[in-house]
Chains A and B, each alone.
Chain A
Amino acid sequence: DIVMTQSPLSLPVTPGEPASISCRSSQSLLNANGNNYFGWYLQKPGQSPQLLIYFGSIRASGVPDRFSGSGSGTDFTLKISRVEAEDVGVYYCMNGLQVPITFGQGTRLDIK
């Protein structure tokens, strides 16, 4: 199974400041078609998860451009250029390349 490891697990951020979350997979998520089958999700308090980034770097529909994804293979990063209060919640990374589909442990972002 592909293991997804996130860091940090807790991230207190001052509004307006940038934030960054890393995710490392135990195997490459780069498919033969050249796409990384890797995604970032945000679960806001009391809500269902929502897709932020797919293919490692493509923002999902409606996602603000302050969110950006980068990386390839086994190392990926989610960056928020300027954190807003509505960004609080738990961020998960996900292996979408092979079953079993696996998620990272989650990173809790709080406002300082």
Chain B
Amino acid sequence: EVQVVESGGDLVQPGGSLRLSCAASGFTFSSYWMGWVRQAPGKGLEWVATMKEGGSDKYYVDFVKGRFIIFSDNAKNSVYLQMNNLRVEDTAVYYCARAEAGAYDIWGQGTMVTVSS
């Protein structure tokens, strides 16, 4: 079965760090772009970051540049989102998704990140 499964969400204080993981299975992970999309409570979808297969190109939304890093480990079929200097407004469900044909075709169940003191 083609799927991605996120983990790593937690409650963290403002200014803290967290690393999200996304494990892929059922497809050749190294051949796909991967991305992260978040959804604040009661709000819409917001793109966070995306990475080209092989990791040569990485793109971020402006408000996470310099704080978040997307990277992958092909040996583990996984993509990660390292989040530093977290803010209250980063509170959201974070989804990992596979990119294909200009769309996100496979989504995980999401992992909740809560930033609060």
Task: Show the binding face of A for B, using Cβ within 8 Å.
Answer: 31, 35, 37-39, 41, 43, 48-51, 54-55, 58, 60, 90, 92, 94, 96-97, 99-106
Task: Show the binding face of B for A, using Cβ within 8 Å.
Answer: 35, 37, 44-47, 50, 59, 61-62, 95, 99-105, 107-110
- Minimum CB distance partner of B46 in chain A: A103
Q: Which of B37, B46, B62, B103 contacts A39 (CB 8 A)?
A: B103
Closest chain-A Cβ to B42's Cβ sits at a distance in Å of: 11
Main secondary structure of the interface of B (DSSP, over half): strand
Whether the Cβ atoms of B108 and A106 lie closer than 8 Å is no
Q: Taking A100-B59, A101-B47 as given, write out 20 further A-B residue pairs in contact, using a Cβ cutoff of 8 Å, ordered by the A residue number.
A: A35-B101, A35-B102, A37-B102, A41-B104, A48-B108, A48-B109, A48-B110, A49-B45, A49-B95, A51-B103, A54-B102, A54-B105, A55-B101, A60-B103, A60-B105, A96-B103, A99-B59, A101-B50, A103-B47, A105-B44
Shortest Cβ-Cβ A-B pairs, 4 listed: A96-B102, A37-B102, A54-B103, A39-B103
Q: Which of A54, A97, A102 contacts B47 (CB 8 A)?
A: A102
Q: Which residues of A contact B50 (CB under 8 A)?
A: 99, 101
